[in-house]
Amino acid sequence: MTSSQQREGTDAIGSELYKFAIELYPICRSITGEGIRQTLRMIQRHIPLQISEVPSGTAVFDWTVPKEWNIRDAFIKDSSGRRIVDFQKYNLHVLNYSAPIHATLPLSEIKPHLFSLPAHPDWIPYRTSYYKEDWGFCLSHNQLLSLQEGEYEVCIDSTLADGQLTYGESFFPGRSAEEVLISCHACHPSLANDNLSGIVVATYLAKLVAALASDHRYSYRFLFIPGTIGAITWLARNQYSAKNIRHGLVLTCIGDKAPFHYKKSRRGSAEIDRTVAHVLSHMTESPEILEFSPYGYDERQYCSPGFNLPVGCLMRSVWGTFPEYHTSADNLEFIEPLRLAESLDICAAVFEALEKNCSYRNLNPHCEPQLGRRGLYRSTGGDSIANEINARLWVLNLSDGQHSLLDIAERARLPFRVILDAANLLRENGLLEPVPETSNHKEIAQEMAHKKSAPIS
């Protein structure tokens, strides 16, 4: 494929991802209710998705599935009956999970229920009150300042009642029962980077896996869940099968322009941590690798000590650190088709490296085999000849059954793909044999060894 064909492919997939984000953007989502159901049904048009409903009141570890929230309308009307704050124009105007109210109140009694952002006076903040029953409105600080004393009609036509918590799950069995987990939250209303970027990239990643028609090593599971309570609920219902998760990623905030950030799993040097760091270092500019911390997105639940799953979090801008975070400025202009397409590419490269990572044994380990005699001192056109030869020598040298292709790629500072191509070529020429896949148990032992041998920086 030429670079201009590649570029066109990226542009085309970027437009598709962005178009899907445009469709999902207007829906008023929350951690329960029709908004998340409608979102899941729209994802279902792209991929097979099993939708689960868990009743309010269900105990999930230390938590309880909350009442279901639905909203039809909300407004503040001035004395002339004009809607000055209108949910129909912008769903961020309502404190998400607001209890119903319909009353005429003086401004002084409404003010404690109004939220604005003085630092960004034109933006509307996104606020929630999931676990404390309250009502409220969010508006720009400029609008708040312009409100005159007097009486206003406030109405939030919502219901907070026993119902269900809804989440979606897409599972693609592979040759192994061991799983790759992709998880994203699907509970934010009109916010583009935080929420929609993860949903659209995860949906299209699932499409890529579906196109492989089960011809893959790992099983793949995609979760579209409400943040925190959704991950806790899923883990509570899948406590034992969660042990099959061999590698996992939480995807969020991956549609903006910032360089990539990867937050490592609690384990710190799991194969997923090393694979993502490796792929980012070869495919992107100035990526940053962050150590695990017990705050952030749903990796907090997957990495809680009772599970300690190898699940990291892939982002561009880091949650909570960009001014647009949880405001009306995290909108469709904040994300870009090309950025979404790049994020999809990175995830696909991570999948490829996980799928193909394995160890080989050099069948000719006493001194170098004579490559020239086998025609292996010439290029196959994959990369620069120097890199290709270099990769073959590294693979031969480290293929003692103890080093995986990822180990070799890291040590040789060459892209995984170049090392993989070299290994395939050497195998075709009878110089390598695969060693059986490592068990999860052995991988943990290797992680420990890798931690010990890692240089202290």
Q: Which residues bind Zn ion (CB under 5 A)?
A: 194
**326 φ/ψ angles, rounded to the nearest 5 degrees:** 55, 40
CA distance to 198, 326, 397, per residue, from 364 (Å): 46, 58, 10
Smallest distance, Å, CB 296 to Zn ion?
A: 10
Length of the chain: 457
Residue 262 and residue 259: Cα distance in Å, rounded? Answer: 10
Q: Are 10 and 130 in contact (CB under 8 A)?
A: no
d(CA 235, CA 15): 34
Residue 275 and residue 354 in contact, taking contact as beta carbons nearer than 8 Å: yes
- CB 188 → Zn ion: shortest distance, Å? 5
d(CA 236, CA 2): 48
Residue nearest Zn ion, CB atom distance:
194
Please count the CA atoms within 13 angstroms of the CA of 190 that sit on its side-chain side. Answer: 21
Name which of 194 and 271 has its Cβ closer to Zn ion: 194
Looking at the Cβ atoms of 68 and 194, the one nearer to Zn ion is: 194
Whichever of 196 and 408 has its CB closer to Zn ion, that residue is 196
Q: How far is the CB of 194 from Zn ion (least distance, A)?
A: 4
Name the residue nearer to Zn ion (CB basis): 269 or 317. Answer: 317
> Which residues are paired to 220 by β-bridges?
172, 180
- Smallest gap from residue 227 Cβ to Zn ion (A): 7
Query: Smaller CB distance to Zn ion: residue 96 or 275?
Result: 96
Torsions phi, psi for 365 (to 5 deg):
-80, -10
**Least Å from the CB of residue 295 to Zn ion:** 12
Q: How far is the CB of 251 from Zn ion (least distance, A)?
A: 13
H helices present in 257-307, as ranges: 271-283, 299-302
CB neighbour list of residue 436: distance below 8 Å, 6 or more residues apart: none
Half-sphere exposure (Cβ direction) of 61: Cα atoms closer than 13 Å: 16
Hunting for tokens 């952002």 — which residue is that?
Answer: 117
Amino acid at 118: P
Residue 40 or 186: the one with the smaller Cβ distance to Zn ion is 186
**Nearer to Zn ion (CB atom), residue 318 or residue 444:** 318
CA proximity to 139, closest of 78, 72, 92, 191: 92
Q: How far is the CB of 247 from Zn ion (least distance, A)?
A: 24
Q: How far is the CB of 64 from Zn ion (least distance, A)?
A: 22
Q: Which one, 27 or 245, has the nearer CB to Zn ion?
A: 27
Neighbours of 123 (CB within 10 A): 23
**Residue 160 main-chain phi, psi, to 5 deg:** -130, 100
Judge contact between 67 and 56, C-beta under 8 A: yes
- Least gap, CB of 154 to Zn ion (angstroms): 26
Least distance (Å) between residue 37 CB and Zn ion = 20
Q: Could you tell me which residues are beta bridge partners of residue 358? A: none
- Comparison of 197 and 390: residue with beta carbon closer to Zn ion: 197
If you write DSSP's letter for every residue of 127-160 in order, what string do you get? -B-SSS----EE--HHHHHHPPSSEEEEEEEEEE
Closer CB to Zn ion, residue 227 or residue 415? 227
